[in-house]
């Protein structure tokens, strides 16, 4: 075993027993998207590196430190997608979805994302995001819709200990005023900050606020907050969003320090956290916000947009922390127990017919004794066990046992499938 190859750091295998939970969550996400009328988009796992540099932003941690970037054999710089928004916007522009008569264009995606981060509980290098993007509307009602969809997933899966935090990052004018205030605030003592922050001061001072290394510096707490720099228009927009959230009965807190780690945001920004005791240090389950201007940045016409993304890994961790068991069905309709060579041969065809009739069925493939076959049936939670021995076969019969109440019925072999349909309903 010394030459065994291990899984790469920060990735995980999702094994049978777990995959059923993933499927259930994925089905819930799809079902909600159907109700909210978001349609699925599938984009490539890798994109031109420039897409993320321009979209996510050159000064973000994601672009500076976390991308899996490689040069392909044709000398192109490609990057495994670290997030889904930039790609959704690229596709929106490339496929001229802005010309679609159905506006806004409401999309969702589900798939693996890649970030070279230090792995810890809830943080992986490959993780699966479910996200939505609504492009083409600047109505604050769509901000509330997107937030309500994100909250809905968690709530319908049974989570209760959730905290929704919202903020407004304002429009360009608000941002310019805030930016100036930030520069004035940090500049005199920028020497006390990390190299990245020193670079960010001129390029993008807002990024200093979510620096992991300088998180505890005293100037962080006293930093000017964007909310005090919002223009009237931005403030009104934000009021509308919070009014709609209140109308929908969605509780929230306003956190003026919520700036998000990606550059494309303006106006509404939000995160959903888990309040569950015992949840790891990273409590953010979901993040999103408005990105008016990103479509133009990627080469399309002026188009407003908003969306969110959440990872299924963190959703599962939250379910575990709250002790929520997902209603995963782990049972099969029938297990065929057989005795003797002829009966064993017969079950090959019978198994097939039952499967063709739509039942989930299994039989023994290890030549087990009858007792062990019953144990195997138990292990897969068979609702019924059908026993076919040499005598039964001679008499053209099969014995059906209900595992719920132990009741046994002898059925004619030829009409077994028809009868099983009635009995097992």
In the complex, the smallest distance separating the C-beta of residue 237 from ligand HAM, rounded to whole angstroms, is 17
Q: Is 224 in the site for ligand HAM (CB under 6 A)?
A: no
133 forms beta bridges with: 107, 307
First to last CA, the chain: 49
In the complex, the smallest distance separating the C-beta of residue 260 from ligand HAM, rounded to whole angstroms, is 6
Residues 297-336 that bind ligand HAM (CB under 6 A): 307-311, 313-314
In the complex, the smallest distance separating the C-beta of residue 306 from ligand HAM, rounded to whole angstroms, is 7
Distance CA 306, CA 149 (A): 12
Q: Mind giving me the DSSP string for 82-113?
A: S-SHHHHHHHHHHTTGGG-SS-SEEEEEEEEE
Q: Is 170 in the site for ligand HAM (CB under 6 A)?
A: no
Alpha helices in 206-311 (DSSP H): 218-221, 232-247, 294-297
Q: Is 284 in the site for ligand HAM (CB under 6 A)?
A: yes
Q: Is 127 in the site for ligand HAM (CB under 6 A)?
A: yes
In the complex, the smallest distance separating the C-beta of residue 213 from ligand HAM, rounded to whole angstroms, is 18
Residue (of 104, 86, 169) closest to 141 by Cα position: 104
Match 């076919």 to its residue by tokens.
388
CB closer to ligand HAM, 61 vs 364: 61
Both tokens of 345, joined, read: 């041969």
In the complex, the smallest distance separating the C-beta of residue 424 from ligand HAM, rounded to whole angstroms, is 41
Count CB-CB contacts under 10 A for residue 352: 11
In the complex, the smallest distance separating the C-beta of residue 295 from ligand HAM, rounded to whole angstroms, is 12
3-state secondary structure of 327: coil
Stretch near ligand HAM under the rule CB under 6 A, chosen from 41-49, 121-129, 239-247, 379-387: 121-129
Distance CA 62, CA 80 (A): 12
Residues 67-96 that bind ligand HAM (CB under 6 A): 83-85
In the complex, the smallest distance separating the C-beta of residue 84 from ligand HAM, rounded to whole angstroms, is 6
CB 32 within 8 A of CB 233: no
Residue (of 278, 350, 235) closest to 122 by Cα position: 278
CB closer to ligand HAM, 206 vs 400: 206
In the complex, the smallest distance separating the C-beta of residue 169 from ligand HAM, rounded to whole angstroms, is 12
CB closer to ligand HAM, 147 vs 190: 147
Stretch near ligand HAM under the rule CB under 6 A, chosen from 69-77, 104-112, 120-128, 190-198: 120-128
CB 334 within 8 A of CB 381: no
Match 């017919």 to its residue by tokens.
353
Among positions 92, 108, 109, 124, the unique one binding ligand HAM when judged by CB under 6 A: 124
CB 334 within 8 A of CB 353: no
Q: Is 115 in the site for ligand HAM (CB under 6 A)?
A: yes
Task: Give the phi and the psi of residue 400 in degrees, each rounded to 5.
Answer: -110, 125
Among positions 289, 300, 304, 389, the unique one binding ligand HAM when judged by CB under 6 A: 289
Q: Is 63 in the site for ligand HAM (CB under 6 A)?
A: no
Burial class (CB in 10 A: 0-12, 13-18, 19+), 209: buried
Both tokens of 362, joined, read: 């299994």
# binding residues, ligand HAM (CB under 6 A): 27
The angle formed by the CA atoms of residues 288, 292 and 297, to the nearest 5 degrees, is 110
Stretch near ligand HAM under the rule CB under 6 A, chosen from 116-124, 182-190, 338-346, 374-382: 116-124
CB 304 within 8 A of CB 210: no
Q: Is 129 in the site for ligand HAM (CB under 6 A)?
A: yes
Stretch near ligand HAM under the rule CB under 6 A, chosen from 99-107, 216-224, 281-289, 413-421: 281-289
CB closer to ligand HAM, 125 vs 178: 125
Q: Is 288 in the site for ligand HAM (CB under 6 A)?
A: yes
Q: Is 263 in the site for ligand HAM (CB under 6 A)?
A: no
Q: Which residue is nearest to ligand HAM (CB)?
A: 307
CB closer to ligand HAM, 154 vs 193: 154
**Radius of gyration of the chain, Cα coordinates, nearest whole angstrom:** 28
Distance CA 150, CA 154 (A): 7
Q: Evaluate the CA torsion angle 236, 241, 244, 246 in order and state its sign.
A: negative
Interface positions with ligand HAM (CB under 6 A):
83-85, 115, 117, 123-124, 127, 129, 131, 133, 261-262, 284-289, 291, 307-311, 313-314
């Amino acid at each position: 075993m010394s030459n065994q190859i291990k899984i790469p750091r920060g990735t995980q295998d999702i094994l049978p027993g777990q995959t059923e939970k993933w499927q259930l969550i994925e089905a819930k996400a799809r079902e909600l998207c159907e109700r909210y009328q978001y349609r699925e988009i599938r984009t490539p796992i890798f994109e031109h590196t420039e897409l993320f540099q321009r979209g996510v932003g050159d000064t973000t941690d994601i672009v500076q430190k976390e991308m899996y970037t490689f040069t392909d054999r044709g000398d192109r710089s490609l990057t495994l997608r670290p997030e889904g928004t930039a790609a959704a916007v690229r596709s929106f522009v490339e496929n001229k979805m802005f010309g679609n008569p159905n506006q806004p264009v409401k999309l969702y995606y589900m798939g693996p994302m890649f970030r070279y981060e230090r792995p810890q509980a809830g943080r992986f290098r490959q993780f699966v995001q479910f996200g939505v993007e609504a492009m083409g509307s600047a109505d604050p009602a769509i901000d509330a819709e997107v937030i309500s969809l994100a909250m809905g997933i968690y709530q319908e899966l049974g989570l209760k200990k959730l905290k929704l935090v919202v903020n407004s990052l304002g429009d360009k004018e608000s941002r310019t005023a805030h930016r100036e205030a930030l520069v004035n605030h940090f500049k005199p003592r920028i020497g006390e900050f990390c190299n990245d922050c020193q670079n960010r001061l001129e390029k993008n001072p807002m990024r200093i606020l979510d620096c992991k290394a300088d998180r505890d510096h005293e100037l962080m707490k006293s930093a000017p907050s964007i909310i005090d720099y919002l223009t009237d228009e931005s403030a009104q927009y934000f009021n509308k969003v919070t009014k709609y959230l209140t109308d929908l009965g969605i509780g929230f807190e306003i956190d003026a320090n919520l700036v998000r780690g990606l550059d494309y945001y303006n106006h509404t920004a939000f995160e959903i956290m888990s309040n569950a005791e015992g949840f790891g240090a990273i409590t953010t389950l979901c993040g999103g916000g408005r990105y008016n201007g990103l479509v133009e940045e990627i080469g399309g016409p002026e188009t407003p947009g908003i969306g969110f993304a959440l990872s299924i890994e963190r959703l599962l961790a939250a379910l575990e922390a709250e002790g929520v068991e997902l209603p995963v069905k782990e049972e099969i309709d029938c297990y065929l127990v057989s005795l003797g060579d002829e009966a064993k041969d017969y079950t090959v065809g019978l198994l097939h017919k039952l499967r063709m009739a739509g039942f989930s069925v299994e039989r023994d493939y290890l030549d087990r004794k009858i007792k062990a076959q019953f144990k195997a049936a138990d292990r897969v939670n068979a609702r019924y066990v059908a026993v076919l021995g040499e005598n039964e076969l001679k008499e053209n019969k099969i014995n059906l046992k209900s595992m719920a109440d132990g009741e046994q019925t002898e059925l004619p072999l030829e009409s077994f499938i028809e009868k099983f349909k009635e009995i097992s309903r």
